[in-house]
Amino acid sequence: MQLKQRTISFFKWLGFKRSLLLIAFGYWLFCLPKVLFEAPTSTVIESREGFLLGARIAADGQWRFPATDSVPYKFKRCILLFEDEYFYQHPGVNPVAVTKALWNNLTTDSRRGGSTLTQQVIRLSRDNKARTYSEKLIEMVQATRLEFSYSKEEVLSIYASHAPFGGNVIGLETAAWRYYGLPAAELSWGQMATLAVLPNAPALVYPGKGHEVLLIKRNRLLKKLMDRGEISATDYELSIQEPLPGKPLPLPQLAPHLLDRMVKEKPGQRIVTTLEYKLQVQLNNSMRLHHGNLASNEIHNAAVLVLGTDSREVLAYVGNSPTSAAHQVNVDIIRSRRSTGSILKPLLYASALQEGSLLPDMLVKDVPTSINGYSPTNFNKDFQGVISAREALSRSLNIPAVRLLESYGLERFYRKLKKAGFNSINQQPNHYGLSLILGGAEASLWEVTAAYAGLGATLIHFDQESSQYRTQEFHAPVLQLNESPDLGSLDFKAPIWTAGSIYNTFEALQEVNRPFGQELWDSFDGAQQIAWKTGTSYGFKDAWAVGVTPKYTVGVWAGNADGEGRPGLTGVQAAAPLLFEVFDQLPKSEFFAKPFDDMVQRTLCSKSGHIAGPHCQHTEQKWVADAKVLTLSCSYHQSIFLDAERKYQVNLDCYPATQIKNESWFVLPPYVAHYYAKNHPEYKALPSYKPGCFPAEMPNMEFIFPKETSDIVLAQDFSQQPNEVVFKVAHRKSETTLYWYLNKTYLGTTDVFHEMALLPKAGNHLLTVVDADGNEISHEIHIRNP
């Protein structure tokens, strides 16, 4: 009976013991928290090469970089010799060291730790709680559990990332930058030895009495490294001569506006960006010099964005010039919405080329224009009469652009812009009206540069992908290395603009006018071929310049962040010089390959740029975008009959057929010819008809202003009095006399310059003009008071 009871008691004891073991094992298994360190970390951005571009302090006020997954060899040797020589032998706890520390603490008044690096990791994760025997026991248990879950190298990395290095400096990488201004991997033995002894006594880093102790500890460690054969005697002698760190150094701030952006989008992370370190440094220096020139004209802000045309990776990001806080130095101009000025004109030009309603050299009208009360003007206040579409784009003329938008369709163009990523243009098309093409909308440098890069990438991939397009070609720029945007699939249909229309547009953009009198521009012209465009917003508030090559797309903006306009704040003067300075620092590339599969050869009239008609004197073959809709043949060249002396026009009713000379003549409507002749002295108006011959049915004169029936609002001067309205007429014979009437009331005559200043009363009126031959034109006008 007693044996049975003893047996039962024994098994109960075994069960109890087993339960205790299971409980102990369960505690050990789950004693580690899921996340060892929950403290916030700094936001860190690096270049694609791994160089530090900038960092922001963590939310708790500590400089604590996100954890790294590797430890430099020098630090590893230093910290193991100083703190834990048997790190690779023990399971997280060193029994020998613990026994010695316990005996020392029991038999003497001094205190000895005996903690391994693994235990120190646990102590740091537990916020350095009071050093009691119970806390030490917890640390020992969790240290063994940590070693079970992590490799030795991982434990070292955790320690290096979370060890204190004095003040608010946490982690080896942070300390390397704060004390030496270098990445940890580039520190010397002397510098690394200094950092290795700091976590043991972080306060020693501050100048004063602690510096002497720090020096002794560092040199003792260096001597130990020499004795162990880690460094030579020469390295030792040189290392002990190195000065100790003093006041913490400021961290690099090479892309502060991008850093601010990452703080909002990816706080507390280490972001390896696509930026090229050397290029970023160069452009920061260029911006500093350029800002000095702009500031002399009280232009305080500028920005530069460089993209890889093919990859759309952001290679340089200069968000603002180095101005002052009073001039909004912290504003990220690259992401700010600004009036687009003329920067969207090439996109409209490409749209019309793609449709087929425009050819690159086709003559377009540049005359006073009023469309539903909107009357655009050119920058130089002049008119060309007619000008080739290519030249109108390269000279950034406003009136041809507005007329083109009106004919192409405001809503159609608006939809293309939305597809191209212009999310800042977020109102309905009618909100902008035709002023959309002249800066009536706002966009960011980010969007503009990306769109131009999308044009270039379309050409590149059309050539590479057997004349197919990527359906998602116009995507946002890439900021993070190894990020892969969705490029869609391949399709023979262009997503927005065809390769042929883009190529013709880029050909025109190579001819953009440079500023006069600057030798730098002349010397640069031959350096490489760039398709580029400038833009200036109304009131001289925004200056743009964007350039594209097969390798790079560069966008530049200059102006004042507060919107203050300045004389001379134009794209050509304020933004373009910096654009070309940036390209001068980039590797050169050949121009885009001509996309023959999306282009056709057309026989064009050399003079008008239209499809050659039967009366065109000179024609040429040109590659143009392949479009389903074709423009009409040239209507500017007409066949006329002249007398034998080629002095007068004649016809068969008044002149012998055998003496009639047939010629092709370049003919413009009178009101167009009025402006065209001013800039083209070679232009010859049609000869008069020989006396006795009846003229063909073609108007001899036309109104220049007003062109169509429209409301006219009387402007006021400074004294609130209405100003006169100047009415203009063009006549084939400018020297003739014209007679002016208002509501059948005779007003007077004009010679040569047919302009009449009037101040009609409010209401409807009939304006009539009669020439010396009795030809008459009339125009209804409606006058409104302001």
The single-letter DSSP state of residue 209 is H
Q: Is the Cβ–Cβ distance between 78 and 192 less than 8 Å?
A: yes
The dihedral through the CA atoms of 478, 482, 485, 490 has a sign that is: positive
What SS3 class is residue 461? helix
- Give the global pTM: 0.83
- Contact by Cβ (8 Å): 703, 729: yes
Alpha helices, DSSP H only, in 65-151? 73-83, 95-107, 117-125, 133-149
Residue type present at position 527: A
- Nearest 5°: the CA angle 469, 474, 479 is 125
Number of neighbouring beta carbons within 10 Å of residue 466: 9
CB atoms within 10 A of CB 460: 18
Q: Does the CA dihedral 149-155-157-161 come out positive or negative?
A: positive
Predicted pLDDT at 519 = 43
How far from 56 is each of 178, 248, 275, 763, CA to CA, in Å? Answer: 13, 15, 18, 67
Task: Assign 748 to helix, strand or coil.
Answer: strand
Handedness of CA 464, 465, 468, 474 (dihedral sign): negative
Say how far residue 86 (Cα) sits from the centre of its chain: 54
Chain center to CA of 731: 49
Query: Which amino acid is present at 417?
Result: L
Nearest one of 722, 638, 727, 725 to 687, comparing CA atoms: 638
Active site residues: 83, 342
Is the CA virtual torsion 412, 417, 419, 424 positive or negative? negative
Q: What is the pLDDT of residues 415-439, one digit of tens each?
A: 999 999 999 999 999 999 999 999 9
Token digits of residue 464: 């590479």
**pLDDT of res. 2:** 55
Mean pLDDT per 10-residue interval, the chain, length 786 residues: 54 56 58 78 95 94 91 93 86 70 58 73 78 72 77 90 91 94 93 91 69 89 93 93 89 96 94 97 96 92 97 96 93 96 96 93 90 82 92 92 93 96 94 93 97 97 93 94 87 93 95 51 62 92 96 97 90 93 92 94 92 89 86 84 88 84 88 86 87 69 72 66 78 74 76 78 83 77 77
